[in-house]
């Protein structure tokens, strides 16, 4: 197995970091790695905001409810960005392009471009011995995050990522069995029994892990997640920011 | 520089492959790598359809207009998947969860989860000497792709990826300057002059590259892209499939 596969297959999200900021060289390597990811039709439809301002970090930590959003080696916010693509347009051209720019196709393009860049950043960081964690909980108060970062129309914060020198060694979290995720030629609509088998795996994991052990299963966790409305305001904010409108 | 960074930083999309199918071991490693990516709140809200059926591959190649969708070592279609999360729900629970499941928050979660898994697959494949190319053009006729793969509600094809032994050595495509993509603390709204500088870089690249050289700039390319409506039906199909509804 090569080093890259080892890095990828040993991924664990890190939520506790030593008080060591990333070096400029580490940061540059991570950003260059993010930028080299594939991008839909060369659109490069994302931006990254590195947050170093302590006040902003504290505000974001409060929104997310996660102290490691403040205490880390570096914090980045990944944004969908279609603003850049309007900068060279005349007023007439802008009028001509806006409906197309604001459709679901380009919302998808921007979200996917940002995610591909982010995952390259994650792997690059991990290959250098750093730990990372994605921060989806910036979407708890997306309006506020948008304000804190002072983003123009057509730039939408999607998720954050924290980086740093790991100060914890969590267990590796199991994944669904391959047979529940990968299908050949035709999707298997009822794969309930594969999920039931996974429930046993994950129950054992939750019962046995070093910290925060509990009695739970994956299907229960998902039922709880989806029967409790979450972030119902994201739809409106996304549209207000000029994405996903038609 | 470590091997992983070399792999990431040397990425080029490959559009011509030798007639060598991926081995089962390569495929398993790629899938395991995809699965180990981070996932929002453990939702693992994606599925991968490996397409080996020659008729289906030919149909997909026609939809995308790209012969390498047929001629490759392997083809995968990455799908947003929230169907799996409904399998264990009673009818009452389903009624309770559906509005939440179908909001923009969970559309984003599923698209991003799929993209993170895909980028892990891409890096894993490249680390083993394989080439890859993302296939966004399945969205040319998303309805048809959905039919070909016979996907249930709450499963939406997003993009494809082809894998194989490279039979071409394209030039590495330049990326926007770091200063146009990465900002500290505050987004720089007018970064027009950085894009103008990049236009010079990309003009030189297009003029000088080995094949398919032309006279073009990035800003012109983007103006052309956005002033010509593209995939305006994606919005409706996404909603029809039970995503992004409110």
Shortest Cα distance from B219 to chain A (angstroms)?
7
Q: What angle do CA B127, B132, B133 make, to 5 degrees?
A: 150
Q: What pLDDT does residue A5 have?
A: 98
Element (H, E) at A161: strand A155-164
A197 three-class SS: helix
On whether any CB of chain B is under 8 Å from the CB of A226, the answer is: yes
Q: What pLDDT does residue A210 have?
A: 78
Are the C-beta atoms of B38 and A11 separated by less than 8 Å?
Answer: yes
**Quick one: DSSP state of residue A97?**
H
Percent of chain B exceeding pLDDT 70 equals 100
On whether any CB of chain B is under 8 Å from the CB of A197, the answer is: no
Place of tokens 């923009």: B104
Query: Among B44, B136, B178, whose Cβ lies nearest the Cβ of A41?
Result: B136
Query: Within A82-191, where are the H helices?
Result: 91-101, 104-127, 142-149
Mutate to test the interface with A, among B76, B181, B195, B217 (most CBs of A within 10 A): B181
Rounded CA-CA distance B60/B56 in Å is: 6
Rounded CA-CA distance B223/A42 in Å is: 12
Mean pLDDT (chain B) is 96
Interface of A with B in 37-66 (CB under 8 A): 37-38, 40-44, 46-53, 56
Contacts of A194 in chain B (CB under 8 A): none
Place of tokens 């030039």: B171
Q: How would you classify the pairing of strands B155-164 and B74-81?
A: antiparallel
Rounded CA-CA distance A82/A243 in Å is: 9
Please give the residue of chain B at the shortest CA–CA distance from A40. B136
- Cross-chain Cβ contact A127/B4 below 8 Å: yes
Are the C-beta atoms of B83 and B48 separated by less than 8 Å?
Answer: no
Q: How buried is B128 (Cβ within 10 angstroms: 0-12 exposed, 13-18 middle, 19+ buried)?
A: buried
Percent of chain A exceeding pLDDT 90 equals 94
Q: What pLDDT does residue A214 have?
A: 84
Task: With CA atoms as reference, report the closest residue to A160 among A85, A100, A75.
Answer: A75
Query: Among A36, A89, A187, whose Cβ lies nearest the Cβ of B8?
Result: A36
B32-71 pLDDT, tens digit per residue, is: 999 999 999 999 999 999 999 999 999 999 999 999 999 9
Query: Among B11, B103, B182, whose Cβ lies nearest the Cβ of A234?
Result: B103
A157-186 pLDDT, tens digit per residue, is: 999 999 999 999 999 999 999 999 999 999
Shortest Cα distance from B122 to chain A (angstroms)?
9
Q: What per-residue string of b and e applies to B41-52 under the rule 16 or more CB within 10 Å gives b?
A: ebbbbbbbbbbe
| Alpha-carbon A244 to chain mean position | 19
Domain ranges of chain A: 3-170+230-240
B193's CB contacts (< 8 A; 6+ apart) are none
Q: What pLDDT does residue B214 have?
A: 84
Output helix, strand, coil percentages for chain A, rounded to the nearest 5: 50, 15, 35
Predicted confidence band of residue B90 (pLDDT cuts 50, 70, 90):
very high
Q: What pLDDT does residue A212 have?
A: 79
On whether any CB of chain B is under 8 Å from the CB of A192, the answer is: yes
Q: What pLDDT does residue A246 have?
A: 77
Shortest Cα distance from B165 to chain A (angstroms)?
18
Q: What pLDDT does residue B211 have?
A: 79
- Cross-chain Cβ contact A36/B2 below 8 Å: no
Rounded CA-CA distance B57/B166 in Å is: 19
**CA dihedral (A21, A74, A123, A208) positive or negative:** positive
Interface of B with A in 78-117 (CB under 8 A): 79, 83-89, 93, 96-97, 99-101, 103-105, 108-109, 111-112, 114-116
Please give the residue of chain A at the shortest CA–CA distance from B43. A222
Across the strands, what pairs with A132?
A163
- Cross-chain Cβ contact B234/A103 below 8 Å: yes
Examine the pLDDT at B208 and tell me if it is beyond 90.
Answer: no
Element (H, E) at A182: strand A182-184
**pTM higher than 0.90, yes or no?**
yes
Contacts of B128 in chain A (CB under 8 A): 2, 5
- CATH superfamily ID and name for B3-170+230-240: NADH Oxidase (3.40.109.10)
Task: With CA atoms as reference, report the closest residue to A44 among A75, A90, A15, A82.
Answer: A82
Examine the pLDDT at B242 and tell me if it is beyond 80.
Answer: yes
Are the C-beta atoms of B87 and A195 separated by less than 8 Å?
Answer: yes
Rounded CA-CA distance A147/A237 in Å is: 12
Tell me the average pLDDT across A182-206.
93
- Cross-chain Cβ contact A112/B231 below 8 Å: no
A20-56 pLDDT, tens digit per residue, is: 999 999 999 999 999 999 999 999 999 999 999 999 9
Rounded CA-CA distance B24/A187 in Å is: 20
Tell me the average pLDDT across A114-128.
98
**Quick one: DSSP state of residue A189?**
S
Contacts of A133 in chain B (CB under 8 A): 38
On whether any CB of chain A is under 8 Å from the CB of B147, the answer is: no
On whether any CB of chain B is under 8 Å from the CB of A231, the answer is: yes
Tell me the average pLDDT across B66-92.
97
B143-196 pLDDT, tens digit per residue, is: 999 999 999 999 999 999 999 999 999 999 999 999 999 999 999 988 899 999
Tell me the average pLDDT across A90-97.
96
Query: Among B9, B87, B124, whose Cβ lies nearest the Cβ of A8?
Result: B124
A77: left (phi over 0), alpha (psi -120 to 50) or beta: beta
DSSP string for chain B = --HHHHHHHT------B-S-PPPHHHHHHHHHHHHTS--GGG---EEEEE---HHHHHHHHHHHT-GGGTSSSEEEEEEEE-SGGGTT--HHHHHHHHHHHTSHHHHHHHHHHHHHHHHHHHHHHHHTT-EEEEEGGGGGGHHHHHHHHT--TTEEEEEEEEEE-B---PPPPP---GGGTEEESS--S--HHHHHHHHHHHHHHHHHSSSS-----HHHHHHHHHHS---TTHHHHHHHTT-S--
Q: What pLDDT does residue A211 have?
A: 79
- Cross-chain Cβ contact B175/A93 below 8 Å: no
On whether any CB of chain B is under 8 Å from the CB of A244, the answer is: yes
Task: With CA atoms as reference, report the closest residue to B78 among B144, B153, B161.
Answer: B161
Interface A-B, measured as beta-carbon pairs within 8 A, has a size of 330
Across the strands, what pairs with A47?
A79
Contacts of B185 in chain A (CB under 8 A): 49-53, 56, 149
């Amino acid at each position: 197995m090569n080093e890259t596969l080892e890095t990828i297959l040993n991924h664990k999200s890190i939520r506790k970091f030593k008080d060591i900021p990333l070096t400029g060289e580490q940061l540059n390597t991570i950003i260059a790695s993010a930028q080299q990811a594939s991008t839909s039709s060369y659109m490069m439809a994302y931006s990254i905001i590195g947050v170093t301002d302590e006040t902003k970090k504290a505000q974001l930590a409060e929104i997310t409810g996660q102290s490691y959003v403040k205490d880390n080696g570096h914090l980045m916010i990944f944004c969908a960005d279609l603003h850049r693509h309007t900068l060279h347009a005349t007023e007439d051209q802008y009028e001509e392009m806006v409906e197309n720019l604001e459709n679901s196709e380009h919302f998808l393009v921007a979200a996917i471009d940002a995610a591909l860049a982010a995952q390259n950043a994650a792997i690059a960081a991990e290959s250098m011995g750093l730990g990372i964690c994605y921060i989806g909980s910036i979407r708890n108060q997306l309006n506020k995050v948008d304000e804190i970062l002072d983003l123009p129309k057509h730039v939408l914060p999607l998720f954050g990522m924290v980086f740093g020198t790991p100060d914890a060694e969590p267990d590796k979290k199991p994944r669904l069995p391959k047979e529940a995720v990968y299908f050949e030629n035709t999707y298997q609509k009822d794969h309930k029994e594969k999920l039931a088998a996974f429930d046993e795996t994950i129950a054992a994991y939750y019962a046995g892990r070093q910290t925060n052990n509990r009695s739970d299963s994956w299907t229960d966790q998902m039922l709880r997640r989806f029967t409790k409305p979450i972030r119902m305001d994201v739809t409106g904010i996304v549209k207000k920011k000029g994405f996903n409108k038609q």
